[in-house]
Amino acid sequence: MKKTDCLKEIVAKKKEKILLAKQNLPEEELKLKVQGLGPTRPFIEAINKPRQISLIAEIKKASPSRGVIRESFFPQEIAKTYQDVGVQAISVLTEEDYFQGSLNYLSEVRNAVELPILRKDFILEPYQVYESRYFGADAILLIADLLSKDKLVELMTIADSLGLDYLIEVHDEKELKKILTMKVGLIGINNRDLHTLEVDFKTTEKLFPLIPKGKVVVVESGIKSSQDVLFLKILGASAVLIGQTFMEAENIAKKVEELMGW
């Protein structure tokens, strides 16, 4: 990808996709559809275990920085492998243009496993929160960089009303300060700069000490070895979110065991 602001491009495309989705299924209809759904699976509860570090294992076919990561891509099979090897939760990438994701992967994965599922996407407006619930997510990713404080509060309130947990992702001090004034229980530190796509593990080292005790912290991106996981466990992270390393592995289960020391 050329040296442009990757996040800007993704968001522009995402806005087009939301307009199309609303034409196919208007928001009022979507709201009616989520009313009769069964309960969600508790996401925060699943990953917040004392004295251990949990794993949110990700299902993604491609990424803007790497292109296609996994050629033979069967979300249900991957999800079952994750469940069998003992992961605590699953993240499903649903962004279509840059990650080759799909909302249908959420439904497929939900039907295949009992684990709670995070919808990983670029969520900008209420429609997508209802959509996440309808397609089978138990939690959603909200990126602090993309959303004003008011918008975050609006989306969190809707998520609460639908029984969805939310992971609020930050990757610098300014974003962290913004969300620490709000009632946020689950914070994600992303070591990847979404504008340049560069990964810097020092982001976690810098931001983690600034987060008050009692918050559940998930570390994302650039976690490639059991040493990385051990470092984060000692630091006090509740969970790691790992995708690319597993998607590149020939034997996913073996890679999970190797990284997590299970």
Closest CA to 12 of 221, 4, 133: 4
Told to judge if 58 belongs to the known catalytic residues of this protein, a careful annotator would answer: yes
**Catalytic (active site) residue 190:** yes
Segments of the chain scoring below 70 in pLDDT: 1-4
Q: How far apart are CA 162 and CA 129, in angstroms?
A: 9
Q: Could you confirm whether 221 is annotated as catalytic?
A: yes
Please confirm, yes or no, whether 91 is among the known catalytic residues: no
pLDDT in tens, 64-122: 988 999 999 999 999 999 999 999 999 999 999 999 999 999 999 999 999 999 999 99
- 230 burial level (CB within 10 Å; 0-12, 13-18, 19+): middle
What is the per-residue pLDDT for 2? 44
* Residue from 120, 178, 233, 255 carrying the catalytic annotation: 120
Q: Which of the residues 95, 125, 131, 169 is marked catalytic?
A: 169
Which one from 191, 221, 233, 255 is the annotated catalytic residue? Answer: 221
Predicted confidence at residue 183, as pLDDT, reads 87
**Cα distance between residue 90 and residue 118, in whole Å:** 6
Among candidate residues 95, 108, 125, 220, the one labeled active-site is 220
pLDDT at 3: 52
Residue 254 neighbours by CB under 8 Å, 6+ apart: none
Tell me if residue 120 is catalytic: yes
Is 17 designated active site? no
Catalytic residue among 14, 58, 131, 191, which? Answer: 58
| pLDDT for the residue 65 | 86
Is residue 225 annotated as part of the catalytic site, yes or no?
no
Which CATH number does 6-35+44-260 carry? 3.20.20.70
Residue 116 pLDDT: 98
